[in-house]
Structure 1
Amino acid sequence: MHDSRPPSIGMRSYLKVEDNRIHLISAGEEGEDPFIEAAPPLRLKINGELLSGRRQVRPDDLVEWELEETPQFQIKYSPDKMRAWFVLMARECRVLRLQDTPVSTDLLVQAEPVPYALPQRLTLIDIVPELEQSKLVQVDYQAIQRELDQPTYQPVLIAIGKEPTLGRDASLEIYFKEQIVSEFEEVNGMIDYRNHLKIPSVKANDLVARKIPLVPGAPGNDVFGAPIDPPRAKDIMMVAKNHIRITNYEAYALKEGRPRITGERIKLIDITTTHVLPGDVDMKTGNIVFSGDVIIYGNICDGMIVEALGDIYVMGNVYRATATATGSIYIKGNAIGSHLYSGHYGVLFNRLCTHSGSLNSQLQLMRNTMKQLSALAEARKQTVSPRQMFQLLLETKFKQIPLTIKEILLCISNIQQIQNGQLGVLKNKLLELMQRPVVVEVNLNKMLDELQFILIETVDSIKRCEELNVRTELQQCNMTSIMSGGDIVIKKQGVIQSQLFSKGNIVFHDQEAVCRGSQLEAEGAILAMTVGGKSGGSTMLKAGEKIVVSHMYEGRVAVGRFAKDILEPVEHMEFRVRQNRLVMHSTLDRNEEPDHA
């Protein structure tokens, strides 16, 4: 409680407010000092320091006051600075003064309206200077005036930035069917493979592809006029390889054959060559390695390997064999006890690519070891020639290098129609490395540099053959492993005791197809018919997007990171993730509420 009585005996001074001023009146040289405090919106300063709460005032103190100004409006901005709002806080502002008080030893300073003074009304002229200082552009002053005339005290949009105009990425317009339609038919007892498999084909001088150039975006700006650049449009580059001519963003074929386009940013376009085998791939033919498409009118027999830097077409079956293609794999019959790799996995499991990469790593590790041994010998003031170290390491720590070289030479020997090009040079370099007397006589570092360069080029050239829109298609498989860079399509009976992995979808076409004792994984969806059964072992289905089954007796399903064991038979069911949980619902009734799995 503030005392407003006259100063009592024993006070050195007292306070009072008069004529809009605070007066400190001396009462003697000894005694107590008075107290002072301000009520909002007043603020007091004593000797220039802002007063907080209640405090004593000495005779030599300088007491000042000011009004804490409450803003009548605010300008607010969105975090991205693309929107600005005007917010009216108070339409009018009253004129205040200090309220007079009698002398007091404990003074509460208060403000009161000035009698007969008109309130100060906020006008557009008062607002414009702050807007100009903020450097806002394209301000809607009419919106501000409407708010001043009819206050809502809600945020009013007064400036909008200009969004950048998105550009368009360059694209490639394809003038041939990329997917092979697998329709194996017989005409007069003869198989017309080219026409009835519908392998994409062009003739000489046909337009294969056309590049649609990128369209750059247009910059925008925020409410302050600062430029905002659009996302940079992505370009692509067309590179002509074998039998392709590029003119004015258009690629034309120079010969008849299957066009192939590989790569993402750099589009490599060529016409693949085709290696045709009229019968089986067996011990008589040997393993098949070909830089192009391989068409086999028979079977791939036990223990054989077929590798293609393109597509593989098999008219018969695949028996306990391996087929690796950087493109697609089409099998008219079945696969039993085999390994099939297509697209991305056709590159990863290509023997020449794998062994070349491995040999390059081994040689680099050996050279690093040689440098360490040289430094150690130099520190001990010993002399050891690089050739001696090379021979010693080759016979002791790096015994795997000669074995890897033999594997690469074996792969090269299996290649059909090899030309005296890069692989011919690689073969000669490897043979030189295996001849120890030659190694002693040549410049070892130069020889290893050249060999590693060729190995890297070999790996890169195989990787550039990877096709994107690939698929692996067959009738059925048993005890087989399939890894596809695209879709896996099972046309007839189904899958038994096999492992399938797809970077796309796994699709069963036939209504009677079964999936038993197998593990299926797809980054996209799995569309299956009958899953599980009375025999055949457990079945696991894992998908990135969804799983659809017609009948499932038992097994395990997983979508994303959610999984469920199926212990009782279900029919016509779809599994997918919704609201961070695995749900299942009938595919017969799309309006049915999903059950939480």
Structure 2
Amino acid sequence: MEPSITIKADTIEEATQTALSILQATVDQVRIEVLHSPKKNFLGIVKQQAEVSVTKLGNLTATPLSTESSTNISPNQQSVAVQESAVSIDEITSTPLSKASAEPMSSSIEKAIPTDMEDLVDFFLAEENSDVFATYDEAPTPQDTNVSTQITEDMPFGAWVENQVLYIHEDEKKYPVIAPGKNVTLKVNGLKVTDRIAVSKTDRIGIDYQDEVTPSEFSIQLMAQNTRAVLFVRPGKIVHRTLQDQPVANFIQLEVDETVEFFNDLKLDDVYEKVQQLGIKQGIDYHAIEQAMVLKEPGEVVIAEGISPIQGKDGELDWLVEEVIETEKDDTEKVDFREANKIVNVEEGEIIASKIPATPGKPGKDLFGEPIFPKEVQEIIIKTGKNTTLKHDRVVAVAPGRPSIEWRGRLVKIDIIKEYLHQGDVGIDSGHIQFQGDVRVLGNVNDSMNVTASGRVNVKGTVTRGNIQAGQSMYIGDNVFSSTLSVGRENFVISELVMLLREILGYTDNMQVALHQLLVVRGLQPTELTSRELNHLLRLLFEKKYTNFRDIVMRFVNKVRMHISVLSEEWTNLADSLYESFIVVSSNPLESMAAYEALNDDIRATYESHRIPPEPKAFLTVPYAINSTLYCSGNINVTGHGVYHSVLKAGNDVSVQGVCRGGEIRAGRNVTLDEVGSEVGVKTVISVPADGIIRIDYAHPNTNILIGNRQHSFASGASRIIAKLNADGNLELH
């Protein structure tokens, strides 16, 4: 059998050159067939490799396919003389061309195909679809397998393969049928066959199956900010093929057995050249490259490493005050730890917290010798509030009370909150309670009474037709009837004030630039501008250019005054300054350009310190509520019998133990309920945003759930429900 291999490579020239090297032959000693041409996409990237079949030619002689010549197959069996690669070049050229070429194939090929390698590749690229190659493909190929065409009377009918020899035995009534299998090329009488075909002893049958060689490959990838180079190695392989033995049958499909042999013929110089092309200079591991050259299985090896940067550490706040858990007890002295409040009290002069400075990182170096800088570290910004001061990066209490901490990004605000303790009921005798701090009521809150606190509110008894507002959290020990409870509304007010401040700051920045330009035109220094001239220029700017400015300032001032009970002095002081400087200028005008710039800095500082929303730590806890409105910017927890005909709105989660009958629940994240609705079909609505989840143990009919813009109404009762949107945005019930 003639040596023949199939090679894949990026170009036809490369594949041909590899095949010639393996066969140790020259161009004029082989037959070359282009199976596939290389293809590239519009970016020039190889999409399909070139594939060529190269067969080394030997001294071939034609043996007539005659029934007269015979040889002994076994002592008791006669057969046709076994032919190995028995179709010669003379036989090919004597076959008529299917595309009506008047010239013999051999002369056509001899005239068309050059012998120089570069010219040969160009020829294949230009002529791969020409008539010459089409007719050449259709001509019989040399047989790569012994085919016996003579029979004896005692041979069975059919077709079979034994020791890589194909036997065919026909009779007067029927013919055997054969078909090519995978990686087998079958030609009968010069025509390529791809499906079943009936054959006889007079047919010229060519069976071609070739070894396939895939060359070794490697690639280098840069990773981890160019601090690591990884060599990926894929060893080459040779697929050796032999024709499978087949038992006697009316039909057989010619199949091949395959064995795979791996090899690694990568060269160190090629890898070193690629490393140099990539510009890698640092940390090359030559020993690792040498190890990769002997891999017989696909693998990866780190061949170069730079120096990764060492990341720094952001600044932190070291909280030095120990928290004490205070619990509420009922008459049986049983403690419900879900109702526990964290109570912290400090004395004046006590250090509450200390600032831990940020630690800068250290730069690294990539494989090209360039520095890699770590992420910039961020310091925390401590803003002291009521009854606190900052001394040597330590927060110190200047009055006794409860420390309050509020985070807004990297800014932390610390206050000392005082507590007002009310011994009895809040009623007509006591009047309304309004306090900048915490409020603790040991009795009830009666009809039409208000309790307002900037910190926490704790009511031991019931609340009946009352109105209670807390800035941070609220705990009600007994039931709530026809009342309004609100926690954390300050955060929503502040978010609206921040939006107004952003507009005001835009105006004041532009006016500051305009004032400096006017001073330059008049040839004055900022210190030479009098109070009267400054306010006259401002009035002109209000009238001629910034006509909306004073309206926006007035909206800001009114909103602060409307919510003065829940806002800190920072907001009221700024509102007063803006009102006196820009609304009633004659009463307290700005004295100088420096005063204007200082006011503008105050506006900016307030905006920057509040533009990031605080962490949602607020909570509202009640045991039972009926005909009431519960609002909290954080979580709402109902821990007793449930809620009836009430509206619950939470910025985060809502959790209700017991029954939820009638009314509405809206949560910013998730809702968890025991029982919803009633047997008589009272309408109850539960809604969360698109990324929220609703969990219900049992839902009665006429319960409606909304997730994002998707909704579902329960027509009958359902248990153990988990409702959420899937990846396609459709509502799923589990």
Q: Pick the TM interval, shorter chain.
A: 0.5 to 0.7
In the alignment, which residue of structure 1 is the partner of 2:685? 539
CA distance in 1, matches of 2:558, 2:726: 53
Question: Deviation string for 1:204-228 (max 9, x for gaps)?
Answer: 4555334455454455555545444
Distance change >3 Å, CA 358–CA 132, structure 1 → 2: closer
1:294 corresponding residue in structure 2: 439
Question: Is 1:550 aligned with 2:691?
Answer: no
**2:667 counterpart of 1:517:** no
Q: Deviations over 1:3-44 (max 9, x none)?
A: xxxxxxxxxxxxxx99xxxxxxxxxxxxxxx997668x9334
Distance 2:592 2:627 in 1: 48
Query: Map of 1:478-497 to 2, 5 A cutoff?
Result: 478-497=626-645
Question: What is the SS of the residue equivalent to 1:201?
Answer: coil
**Is 1:271 the equivalent of 2:416?**
yes
1:53 to 126, 138, 141: 126
Equivalence map 1:44-443=2 (5 Å): 44=119, 53=126, 74-78=218-222, 81=226, 82-87=228-233, 123-125=267-269, 127-134=271-278, 135=280, 137-149=282-294, 151-152=296-297, 154-159=298-303, 161=305, 164-176=309-321, 183=328, 199-204=343-348, 206-220=350-364, 222-244=366-388, 246=390, 250-263=394-407, 264-278=409-423, 289-297=434-442, 306-320=451-465, 322-343=467-488, 345-349=489-493, 423=572
Structure 2: runs of 5+ lacking an equivalent: 1-26, 29-109, 128-213, 239-264, 334-338, 511-535
Query: Aligned-pair distance for 1:516?
Result: 3.4
Distance 1:545 1:462, change over 3 A: closer
- In the TM superposition, residue 265 of structure 1 has moved relative to its aligned partner by 0.8
Shift of 1:303: 6.0
Instruction: Look at both structures and tell me which one has the larger radius of gyration over its CA atoms.
Output: 2
User: Separation in 1 of the partners of 2:481 and 2:575?
Assistant: 35
- Mapped partners of 1:556, 1:215: distance in 2: 53
Letter paired with 1:208 = I
Q: Provide Cα deviations, 1:467-496, integer angstroms capped at 9, x if missing partner.
A: 642211122333444342322111222223
Whole-angstrom CA distance in 2 between matches of 1:514 and 1:239: 42
1:132–1:358 Cα change, 3 Å: closer
Question: What is the rounded CA distance, in whole Å, between the counterparts of 2:541 and 2:731 in structure 1?
Answer: 64
Give 3-state SS (helix, strand or coil) of 1:497's partner. Answer: strand
Q: Do the aligned partners of 2:649 and 2:666 also contact (CA within 8 Å) in 1? A: yes
Residue 465 of structure 1 and its aligned partner are, at CA, apart by: 11
Query: Would the aligned equivalents of 2:554 and 2:579 in 1 still touch at CA under 8 Å?
Result: no
TM-aligned CA deviation for residue 258 of structure 1: 0.8
Measured after TM superposition, the shift of residue 319 of structure 1 is 4.8
Deviation string, structure 1 residues 320-356 (Cα, Å, up to 9, x no partner): 555443311222234445444433x432247xx8689
Question: Structure 1 residues 156 and 415 mapped into 2: Cα distance closer, same or farther (>3 Å)?
Answer: closer
For the residue of structure 2 that corresponds to 1:128, the secondary structure is: helix
CA distance 1:548–1:456, shift in 2 (3 Å)? same
Q: Distance in 2 between matches of 1:129 and 1:401?
A: 69
Q: What SS does structure 1 have at the residue aligned with 2:126?
A: coil
Contact 2:345 2:403 in 1 (8 A): yes
Match of 2:617 in 1: 469
Find the counterpart in structure 1 of residue 674 from structure 2.
529
Deviation at 1:260, TM superposition (A): 0.7
Deviations 1:210-266 (A, max 9, x none): 445545445555554544444444432334434445566554444431111112312
Question: Residue type of the partner of 1:519?
Answer: I
Q: Say whether the 8 Å CA contact 2:461–2:477 is kept in structure 1.
A: yes
- TM-score of the superposition, structure 2-length normalised? 0.50
Please state whether the residue corresponding to 2:343 is helix, strand or coil.
coil
CA contact (8 A) 2:397 2:416 kept: yes
Which amino acid in the other structure matches residue 529 of structure 1? D
Question: TM-score, length-normalised on structure 1?
Answer: 0.60
Which 10-residue stretch deviates more, 203-212 or 488-497? 203-212
C-alpha distance in 2 between matches for 1:385 and 1:217: 50
Between the two structures, name the one with larger relative contact order (CA 8 Å, sep ≥ 6): 1
Q: Distance in 1 between matches of 2:687 and 2:607?
A: 34
Alpha-carbon displacement from aligned partner over 1:160-210 (angstroms, at most 9, x marks no partner): 64655554443334345779755255799xxxxxx9855332344555334
State the shift of 1:409 in Å: 5.2
Partner amino acid for 2:454? L
Q: Aligned partners of 1:259, 1:448: CA distance in 2, in Å?
A: 35
Q: Percent identity?
A: 20
What is the deviation of 1:365? 9.3
Cα pair distance change 1:561/1:36, threshold 3 Å: farther
Superposed CA offset, 1:296-327 (max 9, x none): 44555666655433223334444555544331
Q: What CA distance in whole angstroms lies between the structure 2 residues aligned with 1:90 and 1:456?
A: 67
Name the SS for the 1:267 alignment partner. Answer: strand
The one-letter code matched in structure 2 to 1:260 is: S
CA distance in 2, matches of 1:459, 1:156: 53
Deviates more, 1:213-222 or 1:488-497: 213-222
1:183 counterpart SS class = coil
8 Å CA contact 1:211–1:250 kept in 2: the answer is: yes
Aligned equivalents of 2:674, 2:423: Cα separation in 1: 35
CA contact (8 A) 1:289 1:411 kept: no
- Asked whether the 8 Å contact 2:655–2:672 carries over to 1, the reply is yes
Q: Give the distance between the partners of 1:88 and 1:175, measured in 2 at CA.
A: 59
Counterpart residue number, 1:60:
none
User: What is the CA distance between 1:529 and its match in structure 2?
Assistant: 1.4
Measured in 2, the distance between the counterparts of 1:233 and 1:576 equals 39
Matches within 5 A, 1:567-582: 567-575=715-723
**Contact 2:487/2:620, CA 8 A, preserved across alignment:** yes
Q: Secondary structure at the match of 1:567?
A: coil
User: Does residue 498 of the first structure (1) align with residue 639 of the second (2)?
Assistant: no
Pair 182,547 (structure 1): closer, same or farther in 2 beyond 3 Å: farther
Cα separation, 2, equivalents of 1:129 and 1:516: 77
Aligned pair count reads 482
CA distance in 1, matches of 2:601, 2:429: 35
Cα distance in 1 for partners of 2:293, 2:598 equals: 80
Counterpart Cα distance in 2 of 1:397 and 1:174: 43
Whole-angstrom CA distance in 2 between matches of 1:283 and 1:428: 37
